Amino acid sequence: MLFHVRMDVRIPHDVPAETAARLKAEEKARFQELQRSGKWRHIWRVVGEYANYSIFDVDSNAELHDLLLSLPLFPYMQIQVQALCRHPSSLHDDDR
């Protein structure tokens, strides 16, 4: 199942810089792990914002939910999720 996810990150200003840096490094490592597994297929930065648009390829709503909860920056995110399905005119066979 494909999902379009927007993530807006809002780390409070009172979080110590060292803590924020550690969380960002842990987030990057987790992201790269999920990208290598094929679960996090694409990510795009939103210009001028601490936000991204991503495409996830997971087996269920519950798997996506658990995956998002596993992100180190999850407590500081506002997340919007939209389920996607293959368009009948798509030329790409991997748009499932």
pLDDT per position as a tens digit, 60-91: 999 999 999 999 999 999 999 999 988 888 88
Domain boundaries, the chain: 2-84
Please state, in angstroms and rounded to a whole number, the distance separating the CA atoms of residues 94 and 82. Answer: 18
Residue whose entry in the numeric block shows the structure tokens 């409070």: 12
CATH of domain 2-84: 3.30.70.1060
Identify the band that residue 52 occupies on the pLDDT scale cut at 50, 70 and 90.
Answer: very high
Tokens 């550690």 belong to residue:
22
Beta pairing partners, 81: 5
The pTM of the full predicted model, rounded to 2 decimals, is: 0.89
> Given a cut of 70, is residue 96 above it in pLDDT?
no
**DSSP label of 74:** G
Q: How far apart are CA 83 and CA 76, in angstroms?
A: 22
Tell me the percentage of the chain whose pLDDT exceeds 70.
Answer: 97
